[in-house]
Structure formats: structure tokens, C-alpha cells
Amino acid sequence: MLKKILVANRGEIAIRVMRACRELGIDTVGVYSDADQDALFAKYADESYLIGEGPPHKSYLNMDKIIAVAKATGCDGIHPGYGFLAENAKFATAVRDAGIEFIGPSADSIEKMGDKIIARSLMQQAGVPVVPGSTSEVTELAEAQRIVAKIGYPVIIKAAGGGGGIGMRVVREDSELEAALEITRNMAGSAFGNPSIFIEKYLEHPRHIEIQILADKQGHTVFLGERECSIQRRHQKLIEESPSPVVTPELRQTMGDVAVKASRAIDYYNAGTIEFIFSEGKFYFLEMNTRVQVEHPITEMVTDIDIVKEQIRIASGLPLDFAQEDIRMNGWAIECRINAEDPLNNFAPMAGKLRGYRSPGGIGVRVDSGVHAQYAIPPFYDSMISKLVVHGRDRNEAIERMKRALFEYIIVGVTTNIPFHKAVMKDPMFVRGELSTHYIEEQKHLSEEMRRVIEETKSLQEKLTGIFKDDRKAAAVTAAVTAYLSSLAAVED
Ligand code: ADP
């Protein structure tokens, strides 16, 4: 087993990895930027080191610096988390060349899956269904027109090196095609350093369903069920659940078998996720994420398998100590990403300081977070405050538990998307499990509901003020609640 791990990441995922290390008796080294001097993860690590300034390229993307710290502190493993260097084949190679284990797959797997055009063609060869579209890079308009003639409008133009839902363009008619190719190519070149683009059929009302896999270096691969991640804004996930309301045991087995086949086709090891787009009973390969996913906790809740510990065990060369038939899905888990963003203003990211903070708890509630009261959200990184995860015996219990947990969540000082999550949990379409990736834009009444929810929350907060009135901490609590109320009033304006 590895003995000392450097976590090349920040925020909640850095803490998530360090928690696994703590339970396994592994020492941890944190690295942080000067914007994260006061961040919890930097204190949680056994040792931590400042590696540069706030902008990611000056710190969390500085491979040489990170590897130098790992060597100097005697680490035998580096965990990249998600984002930053997690899917960087060059980094994986450099880490291993330095005699340190990269906790993830081979550089070759990262490279193959990092290019969506290569991934599509490898998957096709392996017999995995892919969305109809181009088989290689599209460079000419005439070529694009040939593909469109075959698959029909609408189509979506994507960057081979794309990620984070950025830069994709839907095209519905001929007159838009040439400009869309040009714009996507330019965007791909500047955002991802790779101008290659390709074309896929655009599915109108799909669901996003993904399969978690684990594979050891001895050739055993298992799947840990699915996650439904259809509730997205700007092609980025906001709410995920496991299992999916539409996946039957038979479909789960079929999708799982395909995911295992996809992983084996590239000799994959460690944790990975095969993302599928699901439409009218059929599923198609979208991409493979060669790292731990933000939403991995919901799978942990229903399978009782600690995915990060398994990543570390696999990287240490240990075989999986369970087989596919040992994996049982138990109950239902939902994750709400709690972000500092304004759901009533097109989910615009908000910066600011958490002047008051109380996270929910109780049975079946898990909060993965890297924040604390008085924490200032730095402008350089994503605006996620926490991942609120609940587990219940069935979907109804999970929804009721999420409502209860959201009710308990108090964040003072910054605008969050909590009212959005509260509105969704009450929405009849969501409750019926009728989801698609267009859920948010189509549920126009959600804004109305959010305003109502904010109004309701106000009176609950007023009651809270009353309860705390005679307490010694009354002054502080009252101040926090008053500030909370005025922040709600501000949102309303
Ligand atoms: P990224 O790597 O940028 O996250 P993905 O290919 O994983 O891009 O797609 C992200 C999201 O974009 C999907 O979950 C889905 O909502 C939407 N999307 C992608 N491809 C298609 C498609 N062919 N048809 C419809 N929606 C799509």
C-alpha cells in the first residue's frame, strides 16, 4: 500500500481524498495557492506547501513544482482529484518518471479518451454504440455537409479536446453550418489548445446516464451501477441521482456490460466513468472521464464502496477484493451541487465571504465541502460550496430527506442556488422522474417557485431568530439571520 500521498488539488475533493488516506493510515501532503492560504484542505493535510499564486497556471497546473514537492516530502503517490491535472497524460507520465505512482489510469488511456474523436473510433471498433456522426476530424465544409446529409439536422459540433460543456454548438439548418464550424474550431483552439472538431447527431430530449467502473491492474473490471445526471445548466451537472429512475435491472446489466467492454478495449485501470446519452430507450457513448467524478458520492452511498480508497488500493497494485456479483445497489442517493451562484439570474457565479454557515446533518445526510464560516470564495476557481448528498431507502425518502437537508442548510453572505434545489425537489416532473438535459430551460415555473421558496424561507428564519433570542449566542445568531434575511431580500429585488 502507498504510504504518503500528495493531493494535487484543492477544495472539497482535496479533503475527500485526504479523508480516504486518513482512514487507510496514509500520510498526506497538500499543495495550495496563495488564494487558498486559509482554505480548510491546506490545514487538513499532515503537511502543506504553498506552490504559487492564485491563477491555476501559476499553482495547481504547475507540474514541475507539484512533482518537486512530492519528491522533497518523500511521497510515493500523487492523487490528482478532478479537473486541473487529472486528465493530463503528460502529468501522469512525469509523475511516474519521477518514481511516484500516479493514482489514475495509464497515460495511454488518458490520451486515448482525452481526444473525443479517437475515443469515438476506438469505441466503435470495440462494438460500443456511439452517437451517429463523424468518424474523423472535420476540416472542410463539404465534409460536414456530407455527414449532415447522412444523419440529418439538428447536429452538434464539438471540440475533440473539449470538456466542461464548453464550446459545443447546435446547428439546425444549412445556413448556420459554415459559421458554426468556424466558431467552434476557433473556440477549440483557444480554450483547449486543439482546434480539431467533429459532428454528432443532436438528440432532442436525451437523458445523461453514466456508468462508474473500477478496474485493477490484474485485469478485473466491475461496474458500480449508474448515475442519472440530466439536470444541467450550460451542459454542466447540478443534480445527480443513483440509480436512475428509467434504468431497469436488465438495462443496468446491458449498460454495465458495455461500459466494462469499453474500459477493457483500452486496458483501463483505476476508477473511470463512461458517459452515455440516453434517448428513446437507446444509449450511446458520449465520452469517458478517466478520473474520479464530482458526483461519485452517490454511487458510494448506494453501493457502500469507497471509490477513492479503491483508487488508492488499485494504484498500490492490489487486486479488487470483490467481484461483480458482490456489488449490490441499496436504496437511492441524490446529490445537489451547492454553488455560489444566482439561479434567478441565469446561474451567474457569485464571489463573496460566508459570514454565517451551518451545514445540515442527521440520518442519511453527507456534506462534502471545503468551506467554513468566514471562508472567502476565491475568484480563480469554480464556485462550488459543497456537495449535499442524501441516501434513503427509496427515491421518495431520498427526495424528502433532501428537502429536509436543504431546509437545514444556512449560508449567510453569498447568494447560492439552494432555492433552485428546493424548487426542483418539489417539482412534480422531478418527483415523477421525468427528466431530460433540457429540464431547467423547459421548467419555466421554477423561477416562480424559487421566489416562493425564498419567501417561505424568510418566515422560517424569523422563527429561528425567535428561538435563539435568549441564548448567550443570540447576538451573533441574530446578526447572522438578519444578514441572511437581507441577502434573501436582495435576491428578490
Ligand atoms: P463535455 O466533455 O464538454 O462535458 P459531453 O460530450 O460530455 O461534453 O456533453 C456534455 C453534455 O452536453 C451532455 O450531458 C448533454 O447534455 C449535452 N450533449 C452532448 N452531446 C450531445 C448530443 N449528441 N445530443 C444532445 N445533447 C448532447
DSSP 38-52: T-HHHHHSSEEEEEE
Confidence of residue 476 (pLDDT cuts 50, 70, 90): low
Do 153 and 253 belong to one domain? no
* Better-predicted residue by pLDDT, 69 or 379: 69
Kindly report the protein residue whose alpha carbon is nearest to atom 19 of ligand 1: 286
Pocket test for ligand 1, best of 204, 286, 435 (most atoms within 8 A of CB): 286
Do 339 and 226 belong to one domain? yes
Instruction: Please report the atom of ligand 1 found closest to the CA of residue 200.
Output: 23
Cα 164 to middle of ligand 1, angstroms: 9
Helix (H) or strand (E) run with residue 288 in it? strand 282-289
Q: Which CATH number does the domain housing residue 43 bear?
A: 3.40.50.20
Cα 492 to middle of ligand 1, angstroms: 33
pLDDT beyond 50 at 468: no
Give percent above pLDDT 70 in the chain: 93
Q: What is the DSSP string of 91-112?
A: HHHHHHHTT-EESSS-HHHHHH
Do 85 and 161 belong to one domain? no
Q: Which is catalytic among the residues 291, 313, 337, 401?
A: 291
Residue 468 resides in a domain: no
Cα 207 to middle of ligand 1, angstroms: 10
Alpha helix locations (H) across 304-345? 307-315
**pLDDT tens digits, residue range 394-411?**
999 999 999 999 999 998
Do 401 and 445 belong to one domain? yes
* First vs last C-alpha separation in the chain: 55
Distance from C-alpha of 96 to C-alpha of 75, rounded to nearest angstrom: 12
0.85 exceeded by pTM: yes
Residues lining ligand 1, Cβ inside 6 A:
131, 156, 162-166, 200-203, 206, 208, 232, 235, 275, 277, 286-287, 437
Do 413 and 300 belong to one domain? yes
**pLDDT tens digits, residue range 91-133?**
999 999 999 999 999 999 999 999 999 999 999 999 999 999 9
Instruction: Please report the atom of ligand 1 found closest to the CA of residue 437.
Output: 16
How far is the CA of 299 from the CAs of 212, 229, 237, in angstroms?
Answer: 8, 12, 15
Half-sphere exposure of 310 (CA within 13 A, CB side): 30
Cα 235 to middle of ligand 1, angstroms: 6
Do 166 and 291 belong to one domain? no
Cα 29 to middle of ligand 1, angstroms: 35
Cα 234 to middle of ligand 1, angstroms: 10
How far is the CA of 2 from the CAs of 25, 76, 100, in angstroms?
Answer: 10, 6, 10
Q: What is the pLDDT of residue 355?
A: 84
Kindly report the protein residue whose alpha carbon is nearest to atom 2 of ligand 1: 163
Q: What is the pLDDT of residue 474?
A: 52
Do 374 and 436 belong to one domain? yes
Domain span holding position 404:
207-463
Half-sphere exposure of 207 (CA within 13 A, CB side): 23
Cell reading at 330: 441499496
Q: Are 9 and 44 spatial neighbours (Cβ–Cβ below 8 Å)? A: no
Q: Which CATH number does the domain housing residue 177 bear?
A: 3.30.1490.20
Q: Are 387 and 371 spatial neighbours (Cβ–Cβ below 8 Å)? A: no
> Of 181, 201, 221, which closes a domain?
201
Q: What is the DSSP string of 237-281?
A: EEEEEES-TT--HHHHHHHHHHHHHHHHHTT--EEEEEEEEEETT
Kindly report the protein residue whose alpha carbon is nearest to atom 21 of ligand 1: 202
Instruction: Please report the atom of ligand 1 found closest to the CA of residue 237.
Output: 14
Q: Which CATH number does the domain housing residue 348 bear?
A: 3.30.470.20
Give the distance, in angstroms, between the CA of residue 53 and the centroid of all CA atoms in the same chain.
Answer: 25
Distance from C-alpha of 8 to C-alpha of 217, rounded to nearest angstrom: 23
pLDDT beyond 50 at 493: no
Distance from C-alpha of 295 to C-alpha of 337, rounded to nearest angstrom: 9
Do 352 and 423 belong to one domain? yes
Residue whose entry in the numeric block shows the C-alpha cell 444541467 = 232
What's the CA angle centered on 419, arms 418 and 424, to 5 degrees? 100
227 in active site: no
How far is the CA of 431 from the CAs of 396, 399, 423, in angstroms?
Answer: 8, 8, 11
Kindly report the protein residue whose alpha carbon is nearest to atom 17 of ligand 1: 235
Pocket test for ligand 1, best of 134, 168, 211 (most atoms within 8 A of CB): 168
Instruction: Please report the atom of ligand 1 found closest to the CA of residue 202.
Output: 24
Mean pLDDT of the region 473-485: 65
pLDDT beyond 50 at 327: yes
Cα 169 to middle of ligand 1, angstroms: 10
Cell reading at 67: 512533482
Residue 72 resides in a domain: yes
- What is residue 470's three-state secondary structure? coil
Q: Which residues pair with 276 in a beta bridge?
A: 209, 285
Q: What's at 383, amino acid-wise?
A: S
Do 242 and 213 belong to one domain? yes
pLDDT beyond 80 at 217: yes
Do 77 and 226 belong to one domain? no
Domains of the chain: total: 3
Kindly report the protein residue whose alpha carbon is nearest to atom 13 of ligand 1: 235
Helix (H) or strand (E) run with residue 400 in it? helix 395-408
Do 278 and 252 belong to one domain? yes
Cβ-proximal residues to 230 (8 Å cutoff; 6+ apart), any chain = 206, 207, 208, 209, 435, 436, 437, 439
> Of 201, 229, 261, which closes a domain?
201
- What average pLDDT does the chain have? 94
Residue 357 resides in a domain: yes
Distance from C-alpha of 430 to C-alpha of 432, rounded to nearest angstrom: 5
What's the CA angle centered on 287, arms 178 and 104, to 5 degrees? 135
Mean pLDDT of the region 11-15: 98
**pLDDT tens digits, residue range 427-453?**
999 999 999 999 999 998 999 999 999
Kindly report the protein residue whose alpha carbon is nearest to atom 9 of ligand 1: 165
**pLDDT tens digits, residue range 290-312?**
999 999 999 999 999 999 999 99
